[in-house]
Structure formats: structure tokens, C-alpha cells
Chains A and B, each alone.
Chain A
Amino acid sequence: MENEAGALSRVAGLFSARGYNIESLTVAPTEDPSLSRMTLVTRGTDEVIEQITKQLNKLIDVVKLMDMTEGPHIEREMMLVKVQALGERRNELKRISDIFRGRIIDVTDETYTIELTGAGDKLDAFLHALDKGIIVEVVRSGVSGIARGDRSLVL
């Protein structure tokens, strides 16, 4: 979409005005500074998705749109988790983090901050594996998506 003030609010406004749900949304400028790329995750019947697609295409700030789920694609989400890390638990947390290919990126006497990237369900599984009581803070980026193979979303 056009990298312009207000473009994001047009998309968000469309979803709220027409009663569609946004599960997650990520947006950032691309290598072409006049363009932003947005990945939006939503849910609906085929008819609803078709209507969402058409309505988004009508927005003048939307330059090109692709339904990732129409073909093989990669979804990635980044998560930062701050956990209580005391005594025995420090080793345990390091092991779990390694199993999920997470990285401990900040350490204090009492906490670890773990960075984890993957599909949403992997991040969910990681959180599930942690003892609920020790989670201090969770930040998730929302999903970024890209098509596999030759298929690409470019102008």
C-alpha cells in the first residue's frame, strides 16, 4: 500500500465499519520508501473473504493485494517474552528456549528475556510450555507472510 499517513486507518476503518475481524496486522515500509507492506490476518467464510478482498482493493491506498492462503506460503511471527528466572529454573528455561530455537537476549539476576520467531502456533506452544506463573510480559509482532516459490507480491 501507499506509504502515506492515513493509509493504515483506512484499512482499520474498513474492517471496523463492515464488522470484519482483524486477528493481527503488521505494517512497515519496504525497500521502496513510497510503499508499505501490510500483512493482515482475518477469518471468515469464502464469501466474507471475497468481500474483504474486494473492499480492500477499492481503497485507493491499497496498491496490490494477495491472499496468501491461496497458495503455499510462509508465516512468521516474532515474540519477546520476559520471564522470572530464579535458581534452578534458569537452566530449565535455557533448555526450553533452545528446544524452540529461541534466544535469550537479555538477562538480569531475576529475569530472562527470550526472543522467539516462528508460526503463530509455535509461539503458542512455547508459551504453553512455560509455567504460567513465571511469565512477566509477552510482546508479539503479529504475522508477516510471504509466498513460497516464484509467487510474489511485487509491483
Chain B
Amino acid sequence: MELTGADIFVRSLKEEGVEYIFGYPGGAVLHIYDALYRQEDVQHILVRHEQAATHAADGYARSTGKPGVVIVTSGPGATNAVTGIATAFMDSIPMVVFTGQVPTHLIGNDAFQEADNIGITRPCVKHNFLVKDVSRIAETIKKAFYVATTGRPGPVVVDIPKDITAEKAEFSYPDKVSMRSYNPVHVGHAGQIKRAVKLMRGARRPILYTGGGVILGEASDTLTELARVMNFPVTNTLMGLGAYPATDPLFVGMLGMHGTYEANMAMHHCDVLIAVGARFDDRVTGHIEKFCPNAKIIHIDIDPASISKNVKVDVPIVGCVGNVLKVMLDEIKSHDVQADAAALRDWWQQIDEWRSKDCLKFDRDSEVIKPQFVLETLYRLTEGDAFVTSDVGQHQMWAAQFYKFDLPRRWINSGGLGTMGFGLPAAMGVQLAHPGATVACVTGEGSIQMCIQELSTCKQYSLPIKIINLNNGYLGMVRQWQEFFYQKRYAMSYMESLPDFVKLAESYGHVGMQITRPGDVEGALIEMLKLKDRLVFMDFLTDKEENVYPMIPAGGGQNEMILV
């Protein structure tokens, strides 16, 4: 049967099993919106700004493992979406973003609401497509989902001119697609895996450094088993939190610029580093010349371009992290591979000594609310079982340090791009995907105002997100750097004229609370959690000049931390 391009679009989404499409209508996508109106399989979520559509789809994807789907109109619709696309790209999140385009005959004509979406998004997508023929819509959508979700995942943009959505073509959705130039590797090289296991067997001071790839590759269980079999310490990157249970004794905390003392010291002193689905980001390595000076490095990653990009590795293994770890574990078990027990005992003793520094300590007798205390209490009261999204800055680091994630896909944050404004819309996607779950958005008064308009979306769809606003009146991370490195010249990091967040929340139809005293923190959080079906905006007035510790200053080595 012949269908219009718009109907083909909607049918294709249905074939892909899309539950939600996050978007905002406009001229170029009106045919598509009409087709969405005439069906009930795919639910459209109307955001208040296109950036939020991409972050919401991103949060949905991160918390489920399924691709997030977005539709925006041409021109400003697409350009507003770019920040969210770039955010997903940096963190390898599967997402398919449909952008409207002016009719084919007007492309290149500076038409109303025209932008070169393909050109603008090219550097921040895994791939993009311009559909020029109605008969290619279904196949292109199939390809877009295939590319977005396989290999190293990432966002894919499909740009669709308006006239194409009105024309008709025969609809049949392909069962599979193949692309001669795109063949992601799944299985790791057996010989390399054997070499890696041999290195691990000989290790005296090993550490597993694991990142977002473990979560994307659904490899948490295998990683956990492997670490336990070998009795190796594990550190997670910011993106990897939850990939290994944070309450497990083998876990030494997050590493990197604001990682724990024990994680960074163990990295610095290790002799065998097993990097799994992590990419040696500058926030992890510190000064690259000083990084893990004595280590032989094994690196497992699905993307060959991530291997030996920043740090030269000794045993590269390209493949799906889950597969590689399984083969590795089989090899270890079948040959009863064990590392030197005596050496490991000494290594663990050393690590425990570093642990005893208690690097995350903070003033518990403070007269003002310590942000760490809020997060620690949130963790305790939610029994570690919440989904936590965050924005970017000090609150993000404190959330990463104080909320102990035992499960993957619970910690949702913009790690690579560091996008302020991410937290609230991302929480919307998470809450839609997990209707009964507690979803907390940890944010600050700076970040939250970057997508504050989404309080309206939350009202429309009754999303009972719990917003934990750590309000110190400063762009805290900027202020911290200015304190440390610019002699306390606080250029533009203080925000005057903040709104009354309680009234603001109420004006959107939500519940707002302001908490000013440490003694009220626990009670307020309990009350918040009781309001199961309401969005609650918790405005905590916290210590204005608290800093995130430990900290590796820019250019420092991993063993050169500033401690509290």
C-alpha cells in the first residue's frame, strides 16, 4: 500500500519499537506531526525547548539501553538540538534525531527556517543522512537505528525535507540492513586476550579501570565476576559509575580529577592496568606524562580509534567489552589463573592504608548545610535505589562521590561534553522509562536555570521528579577554580537575582521546599520521598564556599592531589 512519507516515518518508528519520541513541532515537520496525531503506537512528548528533547531522549537511552528518539523542525529547531546531540556524541549514547528540512527545491536558497543541518551536525554525530526520496525513508530510518545502536553507539541525525513527507511511496520496512563500509567488530582477538590474561596472572599491583563502555556493552556482571575471581581492585570513571557495585569491597571509588585518593594512588602505583571501555580522558589521566608510570596497559574497547589515542597501550583488544570480558573470564577459569596471592595481599594492604585517609571527609558539625551531607542522606533514604541525573559542576562531582551506585544505568550525567542544563530534561526521559522509580535530579542554581522551562513539561506529563538543588549562590566549580588559581577573583561566578525557587516550582504546579538548616535536611527529604506522585523542587541553601576534594589540579599527576 502506498503511504505518505509522514506515515512511512511513523510506521517505521513503530517497527523499531519506539515508545516515546521527544520533540517540538514546526513548519517543516507538520506532515509528520499530523501522522503522529493519527496513531497511538508512538507517544510524542512535547518539551519546551529542543535542547530538552535531545537530553530527555538521551536520559531515556542511558537508563534503558534503548535508543532515544527526537523530532525537531528545521532551522532553529535543529540548531537548538545540537547541544543535546553533541552531549550524546561525547558519551556514546544511541540516539536518532529527526530534523525537519525545507522542501527539496528550496534547499540552499536561504529559505525561511533553513539551516544546513547535515553540515552543522556533522562533527557531533556518528553519522547523518539527508533523505531525498520518499522511497528511501524506511530504509534510511532502519540504517539510522542500526548505526546508532551498534558498535560504539552514538547519535544519528536524519534530515527530512518537508516535500518528501507529503509524497507517497510503497511501504515495506526492511528486516535488516547491511552497509559495506560499516562493520563493527564484536569479538576480540583470541591471542591478544591470552596475552592480557598472562599479564594479569603476573600482576603484583593490578587495577581495573572501567568506564562507560562497560555499561553500554551490558558487561557489568561479567566485570564483577572477573574482578572477584582475580581479587583485583576496581575504579570507575565518572561515566562508568554503577558498572561495578560501589558498595563492594573491591571498589576503590571513582578516579580522576575529583576521584578518591585511593583510586588515584592505586592507578599511579599499579603495575598492570586493565582499562575496560574507558578512553583515557584528560580528566582521568591528569598530566599525561605522569600517568601510570610503571604500568603495562591492557585496553579493551570497541572503538579502535580510542586505543593508543592518548596513552600508548601494551595489549590492545578491539571488541565488544561484554564479549571480550566473557572470553577472558573463561580463559581465567578454565586455566585456573590466579595472580600472586602474597603480592595482592601487600597491594590491598597498601590500598587500605590509602583508604584510611578518608579523602571524602567533610565537616559534619557545620552550622550551614554541607552539600555532601544532602547527597549522603539522599543515598541513605533512597537505599541507593534511585535513578540520579545531574547537571554539571560541583554538585555533579559530589553526587558521583556520595551516591553509591550498585547498578548500571542509574547514574545519568553529561560526562564528556559537560552540559549544564542536562539534568532536568534527562530526568524526564528516565522517569518516563521507569514510571514507578524514584528519579532524583541533582543540580545547582546555575545549571537548573539552563533548562528550567521543562518544569512545564513535567507538569503536563505528571513526572514526579525530585529536584535536589544545591544552591550556594555561586557557579560553584567556576568559583572553586577562581579561588585556587585566580586568587579569589570571582569573575561572574556569583549569581544575583536568583528566583524564589519555591514560588517558581509552585507557579508551574509543583511542590517547592526551601531548606536552610542541617537539622532539617533529613526530615525534608523524607517528606519529599513521601510525595510519590509530585514533582518536588528541593532548594537546599548550602555552604557557599565548599570545595570539591580531592582535586588533581590541571597538569598534576594522579599522585598530586589536593586533599581537604
Could you list which residues of chain A lie within 8 angstroms of chain B, going by C-beta atoms? 1-2, 5-6, 9-10, 13, 17, 47, 50-51, 54-55, 57-58, 60-64, 155
Are A13 and B122 neighbours in the complex by a CB distance under 8 Å?
A: yes
Q: Which residue of A lies closest to B128 (CB)?
A: A6
Contact partner of B180 (CB less than 8 A), chosen from A5, A13, A57, A155, is A155
User: Most chain-A Cβ atoms within 10 A of its Cβ — which of B147, B303, B309?
Assistant: B309
Are A60 and B130 neighbours in the complex by a CB distance under 8 Å?
A: no
Contact partner of A17 (CB less than 8 A), chosen from B118, B123, B127, B147, is B123
A94 vs B353: C-alpha distance in the bound complex, in angstroms?
A: 84
Are A63 and B304 neighbours in the complex by a CB distance under 8 Å?
A: no
Q: Which residue of A lies closest to B305 (CB)?
A: A54
Are A51 and B305 neighbours in the complex by a CB distance under 8 Å?
A: yes
Contact partner of B305 (CB less than 8 A), chosen from A5, A17, A58, is A58
**Residues of the B chain whose Cβ atoms lie less than 8 Å from the Cβ of A55:** 305
Contact partner of B123 (CB less than 8 A), chosen from A2, A13, A64, is A13
Shortest A11–chain B CB gap in Å is 11
User: Most chain-B Cβ atoms within 10 A of its Cβ — which of A10, A54, A61?
Assistant: A54
Contact partner of A9 (CB less than 8 A), chosen from B119, B130, B303, B305, is B119
Task: Please name the 6 residue pairs, one residue from A and one from B, whose CB atoms are nearest each other, closest first.
Answer: A54-B305, A63-B181, A60-B127, A60-B182, A54-B304, A17-B123
B498 at the interface (CB under 8 A from A): no
Contact partner of B130 (CB less than 8 A), chosen from A6, A17, A51, is A6
**Residues of the A chain whose Cβ atoms lie less than 8 Å from the Cβ of B172:** none
List B89-137 residues whose CB lies under 8 Å from chain A. 118-119, 122-123, 126-127, 130
B491 at the interface (CB under 8 A from A): no
Contact partner of A62 (CB less than 8 A), chosen from B130, B181, B304, B308, is B181
**Residues of the A chain whose Cβ atoms lie less than 8 Å from the Cβ of B118:** 6
Shortest A59–chain B CB gap in Å is 8
B179 at the interface (CB under 8 A from A): yes
Are B308 and A50 neighbours in the complex by a CB distance under 8 Å?
A: yes
A51 vs B304: C-alpha distance in the bound complex, in angstroms?
A: 9
Are A47 and B122 neighbours in the complex by a CB distance under 8 Å?
A: no
The secondary-structure label for the interface of chain B is: mixed
Given known A-B contacts A51-B305, A58-B305, A63-B181, A9 and B122 have beta carbons under 8 A apart: yes
A51 vs B312: C-alpha distance in the bound complex, in angstroms?
A: 12
Shortest B298–chain A CB gap in Å is 18
The number of A-B residue pairs with CB atoms under 8 Å apart is: 37
A57 vs B306: C-alpha distance in the bound complex, in angstroms?
A: 12
A61 vs B180: C-alpha distance in the bound complex, in angstroms?
A: 9
A1 vs B119: C-alpha distance in the bound complex, in angstroms?
A: 18
Contact partner of B179 (CB less than 8 A), chosen from A9, A54, A60, is A60
**Residues of the B chain whose Cβ atoms lie less than 8 Å from the Cβ of A2:** 181
A10 vs B124: C-alpha distance in the bound complex, in angstroms?
A: 11
List B304-321 residues whose CB lies under 8 Å from chain A. 304-305, 308-309, 312
Are A10 and B181 neighbours in the complex by a CB distance under 8 Å?
A: no
**Residues of the A chain whose Cβ atoms lie less than 8 Å from the Cβ of B308:** 47, 50-51
Besides A9-B119, A47-B308, A63-B181, 15 other A-B contacts (C-beta < 8 A): A1-B181, A6-B118, A9-B122, A13-B122, A13-B123, A17-B123, A50-B308, A51-B309, A54-B304, A55-B305, A58-B305, A60-B126, A60-B179, A61-B181, A63-B180
**Residues of the B chain whose Cβ atoms lie less than 8 Å from the Cβ of A58:** 303, 305
**Residues of the A chain whose Cβ atoms lie less than 8 Å from the Cβ of B303:** 58
Shortest A122–chain B CB gap in Å is 34
A10 vs B127: C-alpha distance in the bound complex, in angstroms?
A: 10
**Residues of the A chain whose Cβ atoms lie less than 8 Å from the Cβ of B309:** 51
A45 vs B122: C-alpha distance in the bound complex, in angstroms?
A: 27
A16 vs B446: C-alpha distance in the bound complex, in angstroms?
A: 33
Contact partner of B181 (CB less than 8 A), chosen from A47, A54, A60, is A60
Can you list 11 A-B contacts (CB < 8 A)?
A2-B181, A10-B122, A13-B122, A17-B123, A47-B308, A50-B308, A51-B309, A60-B126, A60-B179, A62-B181, A63-B180
Shortest A68–chain B CB gap in Å is 20
A50 vs B181: C-alpha distance in the bound complex, in angstroms?
A: 19
**Residues of the A chain whose Cβ atoms lie less than 8 Å from the Cβ of B181:** 1-2, 60-64
A113 vs B303: C-alpha distance in the bound complex, in angstroms?
A: 50
**Residues of the B chain whose Cβ atoms lie less than 8 Å from the Cβ of A17:** 123
A9 vs B123: C-alpha distance in the bound complex, in angstroms?
A: 10
A63 vs B123: C-alpha distance in the bound complex, in angstroms?
A: 19
A51 vs B309: C-alpha distance in the bound complex, in angstroms?
A: 7
**Residues of the A chain whose Cβ atoms lie less than 8 Å from the Cβ of B123:** 13, 17
Shortest B123–chain A CB gap in Å is 5
Are A60 and B305 neighbours in the complex by a CB distance under 8 Å?
A: no
A67 vs B116: C-alpha distance in the bound complex, in angstroms?
A: 33
**Residues of the A chain whose Cβ atoms lie less than 8 Å from the Cβ of B304:** 54, 57
Shortest A49–chain B CB gap in Å is 12
A77 vs B122: C-alpha distance in the bound complex, in angstroms?
A: 31
**Residues of the B chain whose Cβ atoms lie less than 8 Å from the Cβ of A61:** 181
**Residues of the B chain whose Cβ atoms lie less than 8 Å from the Cβ of A51:** 305, 308-309
A72 vs B122: C-alpha distance in the bound complex, in angstroms?
A: 35
Shortest B148–chain A CB gap in Å is 12
**Residues of the A chain whose Cβ atoms lie less than 8 Å from the Cβ of B179:** 60
User: Most chain-B Cβ atoms within 10 A of its Cβ — which of A1, A2, A58, A64?
Assistant: A58
Shortest A99–chain B CB gap in Å is 44
**Residues of the A chain whose Cβ atoms lie less than 8 Å from the Cβ of B312:** 47
Shortest A62–chain B CB gap in Å is 6
A6 vs B118: C-alpha distance in the bound complex, in angstroms?
A: 8
**Residues of the B chain whose Cβ atoms lie less than 8 Å from the Cβ of A6:** 118, 122, 130
List B325-377 residues whose CB lies under 8 Å from chain A. none
| A interface footprint on B23-46 (CB within 8 Å = 1, 0 otherwise) | 000000000000000000000000
Q: Which residue of A lies closest to B127 (CB)?
A: A60
A54 vs B147: C-alpha distance in the bound complex, in angstroms?
A: 18
Are B147 and A60 neighbours in the complex by a CB distance under 8 Å?
A: yes
Shortest A58–chain B CB gap in Å is 6
**Residues of the B chain whose Cβ atoms lie less than 8 Å from the Cβ of A155:** 180
| A interface footprint on B176-196 (CB within 8 Å = 1, 0 otherwise) | 000111100000000000000
Q: Which residue of A lies closest to B123 (CB)?
A: A17
Shortest A155–chain B CB gap in Å is 7
Shortest A135–chain B CB gap in Å is 37
User: Most chain-A Cβ atoms within 10 A of its Cβ — which of B119, B123, B130, B147?
Assistant: B123
Q: Which residue of B lies closest to A63 (CB)?
A: B181
A13 vs B312: C-alpha distance in the bound complex, in angstroms?
A: 26
**Residues of the A chain whose Cβ atoms lie less than 8 Å from the Cβ of B182:** 60
Q: Which residue of A lies closest to B180 (CB)?
A: A63
